[in-house]
Structure 1
Amino acid sequence: MSRTVTAIITHHGACLGALGPFTVDTPWWADMVPVVAHLEAALGVPVLVLRLLDVHGSDGARDGHVTYHVEAARAVSGLRAVAFVDEDHALRLPWARPEGIARLLEWAGEAVPVTGPAQQRRSWNLSGLFRLPTAGGPVWLKATPPFAHAEPLALAAVSTVDSTLVPPVLASAPGRLLLPEVPGVDCWDAPPPVVADAVRRLVTAQARVVPPPGLPDRRPGPLSIAVRGLLDGAAVPELSTVERSSAHRLVDRWETLDACGLPDTLVHGDFHPGNWRSDGGPPVVLDWADAHLGNPVLDGLRAIDYLPADRRAVAEEAWVRAWTDAAAGSRPREALRLAAPLAHLTYAVRYQEFLDNIEPSERVYHRGDPAAVIREALRAAGSE
């Protein structure tokens, strides 16, 4: 499949018309680089993609026909006439509004000496990402929603124990970060030494760090309450009675997991190799928006599950050895086994937070995800 695009073009609140459909060369809905490039070449004016309006032909955050709301820097003519009214929504995020993006870029310009126009790289309900040129090299402006407020807290805390593990923060304010460009490539296909290094260094930092106040609390008590509330509420229409009952029984596992002796600490929350970046040296770990206080086994499982099959054992052994050394008397390998279903329940709670806090047109990114990962939890428990 591929992604085709229709753009509804506005300028200062007036609908100018529509352009498309046209095909772009990347499938991911949130990737704005090819969309912006096509529109600016066709229209001859700078544009910003504000938000997703509709999707047909796919519901997996990629492919299909996607309609976006796009703001043009100047009025243009010759577009296809279309009826469009931009009805505001209380949950619309700042980077989905022209004035919100303007304020973000103005703030960034006050913090660093920007030397040219910003490039919009990514935009969806979880973040807006812009690459800014400066005399000292590119910097990245990242905007995040209120339910991802933990990232600057996590970066600051980790930097106190290993400043090489995370990117330095150039500036931060509620809902926004400025970070330098990290050289290298994402580590989806990292060689075994890089995998082992990333895992060991994260564990070492987690064993030493003091979790900062203000992190979301996903220790067993609060998390168990959240999972039970989800099973009895939002997820009910998509789950059978048998599925809900089975998932409720899984929640009791957290007490057994706690007995494995791993400390509650700062958890990355999405520690897959796409969030590690390396130029051949020690990886830098990015994207701490899901950071929380909880059991670090979640990060071990995330790394193992997302790596190529021939490198999963490397990650597991590195994680087990690192925690065996860091927490005397702990049983990290048993923790991995016990937590395999529980990790999916944790993600179910997080996905429901996304759905509860984003405007309706963008819920397609996560629709059905809580029920899907609850079923993954049941499959993981059933395969033991």
Structure 2
Amino acid sequence: MSAVAHVALLHDGKVLVIDGRLPELEVDEDVAEHEDERFTWALDLVAADVYLAPMLRVEKDRYLDIVGCRALPVPDGTWVTPTELADPAVVELMARTLPELDEPPTLRPAWFHRGWYDEVEAWVDGELAVTGRRRTGVMRVSRVWSISAVLRIPTDTGDVWFKGSCDLFRGEAGLHRVLAEHFPDVVPELIATDDSRGWLLMEPMRGAGESDRAPGADVALAARWGDVQLASLEIIDELLAAGAPLRGADVTVAGYRRVVSESRELAQLTPEERTALTAVTDEVEQMVHELWDCGLPNTLDHGDLHLGNVAYDGSVLRVFDLTDACVSHPILDGYHLAHFDDRRPSESALFAAFAQPWREAFPDAQVDRAAELAPVVNLAFQADTFHRIALATEPASAFELGGVVAYLLRKVPAAVAEARR
């Protein structure tokens, strides 16, 4: 499915137009890698380097990117006031958004606030200097949205990467630091962190994209992650102190009950779907508690373990994007990995490789029953995750992950029925 992004380069209250219109680009939303590439394309289209506001939705399959030139020269061209644009929907959206650049609304992430890039730049330059390096050019946006900001930074020894997390996931930096101390070969190599601001500065990774990731990443990850989780049992207190949320049975049940009682996306379900969902709520709660009673302890949980969050060059494996990391039930990661993408070896083979270390370490645990319960509990767990994100996201950006909670909830009744067998 393709979508159109109108790109408004803003300078001194005017926007750049070509033939009387905002420059625009077409993006194939069905190609996963384009989710990040579209940000770079939009900036390159008008020779800009920063997003001034979140990506905005004009209407279905049509978006507006308001960008600026912070460190790059403002290009020559035809400049008009936003009210002179021919598209009434874009004019209306810009009229609502431009005042927010000076007074950002509640929940708007810091990277859309004035002065944020200056703070990041000063911090990055200082941390690079400690390592004997220096920045050699403009920090370039890889992705900026409601959850995180990712920047590529050129240095005299090659690019490095910066990530900042929203307030909901600010603990990622401290958590990443702890994991880098104990498992330096499994997470991105850190240059520095600022735990209080949720900032990470990282070395580049090979094999992080779908186009250059080596074959066999799923098998390598399945075989390695269970071992990492087992080893993390020794540092649970450190993980919690660093900011990892504890998401045990009671927390998962409470979170799921909030979803099915207050999520805005319940309105996307049909009356029949809502009735079926309500009918199994108590069973979901029972299955959550049964999973935690299967004999395995809470441990490090990535929270969103799939190949899109793995770099693999054929020998080195690194797991990144620890935004959702927490302390929870280990089987949830294994199930999520095995069932996230159909373009992989058999689900049973992946899960078996992941679970083997757990079977050996806890021979009396009911791992097979845990695997039967995992489809239901993972849906409840993920629905809770995305509901938390929705509550922490400003309304104008709700479309970014809109529909995910409804999608998950629709699958719950059938998963419960399967787990009963």
Same fold (TM over 0.5): yes
SS in 2 for 1:243: helix
**Aligned runs of 1:152-301 on 2, under 5 Å?**
152-173=173-194, 174-186=197-209, 191-192=215-216, 194-209=217-232, 210-211=235-236, 212=239, 213=241, 214-235=243-264, 236-239=266-269, 240-301=274-335
Distance in 2 separating the partners of 1:215 and 1:149: 10
Query: Could you tell which deviates more after superposition, 245-254 or 173-182?
Result: 245-254
Tell me: CA distance 1:314–1:116, structure 2 relative to 1, closer, same or farther (3 Å): same
Question: What do residues 258-298 of structure 1 show as CA deviations (whole Å, max 9, x unaligned)?
Answer: 12211101111111011111111031111111001110111
Distance in 2 separating the partners of 1:178 and 1:363: 28
Distance in 2 separating the partners of 1:277 and 1:71: 31
Distance in 1 separating the partners of 2:348 and 2:276: 34
Question: What do residues 78-115 of structure 1 show as CA deviations (whole Å, max 9, x unaligned)?
Answer: 13542334223021111123422232222212211211
Report what 2:9 is aligned to: 9
Distance in 2 separating the partners of 1:139 and 1:359: 30
**2:43 corresponds to which letter in structure 1?**
V
Distance in 2 separating the partners of 1:274 and 1:216: 23
Distance in 2 separating the partners of 1:285 and 1:29: 19
Report what 2:88 is aligned to: none
Distance in 2 separating the partners of 1:197 and 1:72: 42
* Structure having the larger proportion of residues in helix: 2
**Unaligned stretches of 5+ residues in structure 1:** 41-45, 58-63
Query: Could you tell which deviates more after superposition, 351-360 or 247-256?
Result: 247-256
**Unaligned stretches of 5+ residues in structure 2:** 84-93, 129-133
Shift of 1:176: 1.2
2:392 is equivalent to residue 357 of structure 1: yes
Tell me: CA distance 1:310–1:203, structure 2 relative to 1, closer, same or farther (3 Å): closer
**Aligned runs of 1:126-145 on 2, under 5 Å?**
126-145=147-166
Shift of 1:182: 0.8
**1:283 corresponds to which letter in structure 2?**
L
Percent identity between the aligned chains? Answer: 21
Query: Could you tell which deviates more after superposition, 19-28 or 240-249?
Result: 19-28
Distance in 1 separating the partners of 2:64 and 2:324: 28
* 1:378 aligns with one of 413, 416, 419: 413
**1:48 corresponds to which letter in structure 2?**
V
Question: What do residues 150-189 of structure 1 show as CA deviations (whole Å, max 9, x unaligned)?
Answer: 3223323333443211112211112211010012244697
Q: TM-score, length-normalised on structure 1?
A: 0.88
CA contact (8 A) 1:198 1:282 kept: no
SS in 2 for 1:270: coil
SS in 2 for 1:232: helix
Question: What do residues 136-158 of structure 1 show as CA deviations (whole Å, max 9, x unaligned)?
Answer: 22110111101112322332333
**1:94 corresponds to which letter in structure 2?**
A
Q: What is the count of residue pairs matched by the alignment?
A: 371
CA contact (8 A) 1:33 1:121 kept: yes
Distance in 2 separating the partners of 1:115 and 1:125: 28
Q: TM-score, length-normalised on structure 2?
A: 0.81
2:329 is equivalent to residue 313 of structure 1: no
Distance in 1 separating the partners of 2:63 and 2:347: 35
2:43 is equivalent to residue 36 of structure 1: yes
SS in 1 for 2:79: coil
**1:231 corresponds to which letter in structure 2?**
V
CA contact (8 A) 2:248 2:329 kept: yes
Shift of 1:241: 3.6
Report what 2:79 is aligned to: 79
